[in-house]
Amino acid sequence: MNNLIKGEKYDWEMVIGLEIHAQVKSNSKLFSSSSTKFGSSPNSQVSLVDAAMPGMLPVINKYCVEQAVKTGVGLNAKINNYSVFDRKNYFYADLPQGYQISQYKYPIVGEGKVTIDFKDGTSKDIRIVRLHLEQDAGKSLHDQNPSKTYVDLNRSGVALMEIVSEPDIRTPDEAGMYISKIRSILMYLDTCDGNMQEGSLRADVNISVRKPGDEYGTRCEIKNLNSIKFIKQAINYEVKRQIEILESGGSIEQNTMLFNTSTGKTRPMRNKEEAHDYRYFPDPDLLPLEISKEEIGKIKSSIPELPDELKNKFIETYKLSNYDASVLTAEKQTSDYFNETINSDPELKNHAKIVVNWITSELFSLLNKNNQDLNNSPVSPENLGQLIKLISTNEISGKIAKDVLEDMFSSGKTARQIVDEKGLQQVTDQGEIAKVIDEVIEENPKMVEQYLAGKDKLLGFFVGQAMKLTKGKANPKMLNDILKQKLNKKN
Amino acid sequence: MKIDKNTINKIARLSRIKLDDKESEDYIKDLNSILDWVEQLNEVNTENVEPLSNISSSILPKREDVSNDTNSSEEILENAPDKLEGFFAVPKVVE
């Protein structure tokens, strides 16, 4: 695979690493009992701990620790029995403590890896450096007033898992696939709701460029991207910017950047003199976090089937391609739907590929068009299974099945009902099809002559006419075969 | 390690404290004498010893994941110099 980008003078390789912030799906915050509910009125979920009132002490949420361990297992990572909470010191209006409680030298989860799958059937491992637990900050609104910033501390203190990757990513697409994969794992584990719009999952992207084979270049970090589309846009813009600087003889300054979603451009966030000095040190209010082997074992045994395991199971059981299986398992609701569909009739196991296609192309496009989600699909897995069975037994053609599916989608009727009511059964009677073809040949003598004179393309015309007469119900393969036979006889 | 004028200015800026020249001089002297005193610890051989992060042998207490739904926004905002419709209002932070 050639991932190089052409500059004016040289070819360049991008080197990308991601820091993903995933909000733990918990009822209360990491160190206080305030609610984590999204969208409540400002500062209504702020305890005295979250507001950093003097003398308040943090008490850790056991559930959040378990979710971090669970996620670590899902990332094939080493779980550390001993980890430490540190203070990361900086001044900002949305951080009342003046420091964020995070983990620095001893994170709860160490090295791991996740696999991303490409369309061509190949795959690639992205290594994980670490996962650590930390507090989220509050939210600032900058655009409401020309001279003021408004601060809402509801999010302040909510538990985040920061997942740091090695710089193993080489293209914007890989970055998108990597964050999708992390999101999928988090959602199967149910440790994060994966909602990027609400900010439950967001990423900082580290980018540098180099000539192939060279050492890593100086990187810039783009902060706080909350959609896959923006991540790709930001990378594309930033890479171009860096290449232009380097090719015109300049050098890259290590910087923290912000991405403007309306202009599609990045700009530096802080200038160099203000460079942060976080002065990390162990938080004296918190003892080290120790987790026993037994506790880790208990959490491990509670882990559900993960996308990669399920993918391998689908490949083995149903002989699906790696790519098909990875599309099916990317979201839990899709793999659940597939399982229910294929198990609705014993016959369908032999037609797994058809089942995949009907779910991922036909049903998905209908859902998209109607702005609906698979979770509340008007077509149940059982009903889709019935439709696919009608196709696999040749009772209806694939073309008519598309119309039937649309009908099922809008009317809520079953495939059987619609086919019976509208008389859509496929015509598979040789004699009947032959009769129609005779009619078409008789009515179009000139076309027949041209066809016989070598205009092969006209075959489609005859098929179309015959289909029209049977209202699309003729079995297409039989129609084709008989038509060719009859035309060739004329020769 | 020695504290000089640059270091003291940096620490002051990080702590958002404004120091005049006299104060800077005083702090340089104070901090240096504290560092000298602490530096005596360097005489102890700490090779192969993990840093101590906790002097008690107790274990980290944990709470269950239960949220209390008390809305204390009024109390929280009571000390705020400026507020608007439930928000803290602070001088514009331009980022």
Q: B64: helix, coil or strand?
A: coil
Report pLDDT for A272: 45
The letter for the amino acid at A352 is A
Return the higher-pLDDT residue of A2 and A180.
A180
- Please count the residues of chain A: 491
d(CA A159, CA A156): 9
Provide the pLDDT for residue B53.
63
**Residue B10 with chain A: CB contacts under 8 Å:** 277
Q: Is A269 on the interface with B (CB under 8 A)?
A: yes
Quick one: pLDDT band at residue A270, thresholds 50, 70, 90?
Answer: low
Centre a 10 Å sphere on the Cβ of residue A175 and count the other Cβ atoms it contains.
27
pLDDT for A152 equals 96
Q: pLDDT-derived band of residue A475, with 50, 70 and 90 as boundaries?
A: confident
The yes-or-no verdict on residue A260 having pLDDT over 70 is: yes
pLDDT in tens, A118-157: 988 899 999 999 999 999 999 999 888 889 999 999 999 9
pLDDT value, residue A275 = 56
Q: Tell me which of B65 and A396 has the higher pLDDT.
A: B65
Cβ atoms of A197 and A226 within 8 Å: the answer is yes
B52 reaches A (C-beta below 8 A)? no
Name the residue among B65, B71, B93 with its Cβ closest to that of A142: B93
| Mean pLDDT to the nearest integer, A52-77 | 96
Average pLDDT, stretch A151-173? 97
User: Angle at CA A375, nearest 5°, toward A372 and A381?
Assistant: 105
Does residue A14 surpass a pLDDT of 50? yes
A288 contacts chain B (CB < 8 A): yes
Across all residues in chain A, what is the average pLDDT? 92
Chain A hits for B63, Cβ within 8 Å: 33, 59-62
CB nearest to A46's CB, from B16, B69, B76: B76
Question: Is the per-residue pLDDT at A309 higher than 50?
Answer: yes
Chain B positions touching A137 (Cβ under 8 A) are: none
Q: Which of B16, B54, B58, B63 to mutate to test the interface with A (most CBs of A within 10 A)?
A: B63
Instruction: Between A91 and A35, name the one with better pLDDT.
Output: A35
What pLDDT is attached to residue A395? 84
ipTM above 0.90?
no
Choose the CATH number for B5-43 among 1.10.20, 1.20.1070, 3.55.40, 1.10.10. Answer: 1.10.20
Within 8 A of A44 by CB-CB distance, chain B residues are 71, 73, 86
Residue A273 has pLDDT above 80, yes or no: no
Per-residue pLDDT at A143: 84
Instruction: Indicate the pTM of the whole model.
Output: 0.82
Task: Indicate the DSSP class of residue B56.
Answer: S
User: Is A62 close to B65, i.e. CB distance below 8 A?
Assistant: yes
Query: Cβ separation of A289 and B60 shorter than 8 Å?
Result: yes
**pLDDT: which is higher, B50 or A293:** A293
Residues of chain B with pLDDT under 70: 53-54, 94-95
* Element housing B25 (H / E): helix B21-39
Contact between B93 and A64 using a beta-carbon 8 Å cutoff? no
Residue A385 pLDDT > 60, yes or no? yes
Does the beta-carbon distance from A42 to B90 stay under 8 Å?
no
pLDDT surpassing 80 at residue A320:
yes
- Closest by CA to A5, choosing from A173, A156, A168, is A173
Q: How far apart are CA B69 and CA A24, in angstroms?
A: 19
| Burial tier of A40 (Cβ tally within 10 Å: 0-12, 13-18, 19+) | middle
Check if A64 contacts B (Cβ < 8 Å).
Answer: yes
Which residues have CB under 8 Å from A320's CB, separation 6+? A314, A328, A352, A353, A356
- Domains, chain A, ranges and CATH? 5-299 (no CATH), 307-422 (no CATH), 430-490 (1.10.10.410)
| Interchain CB distance below 8 Å, B66 and A146 | no
Domain edges within chain B:
5-43
Q: Is the pLDDT of residue A399 over 80?
A: yes
Task: Compute the nearest-CA separation of A168 from chain B (Å).
Answer: 30
Query: Which residue of B54, B71, B92 is in closest CB contact with A44?
Result: B71
Measured between alpha carbons, how far is A83 from A78 in angstroms, rounded to an integer?
A: 12
Give percent above pLDDT 70 in chain A. 98
A274 pLDDT above the threshold of 70:
no
Residue A287: list chain B partners with CB under 8 A.
54, 56, 58-60
- What are the structure tokens assigned to A249, written together? 């003889």
Q: Cβ atoms within 10 A of the Cβ of A259, count? A: 22
Residue B94 has a pLDDT of 67
* Residue to substitute from B66, B67, B90, interface A, most A β-carbons within 10 A: B67
CB contact under 8 Å between A28 and B71, yes or no, is no
Model confidence at A491: pLDDT above 70: no
Check CB contact under 8 Å for B87 and A33: no
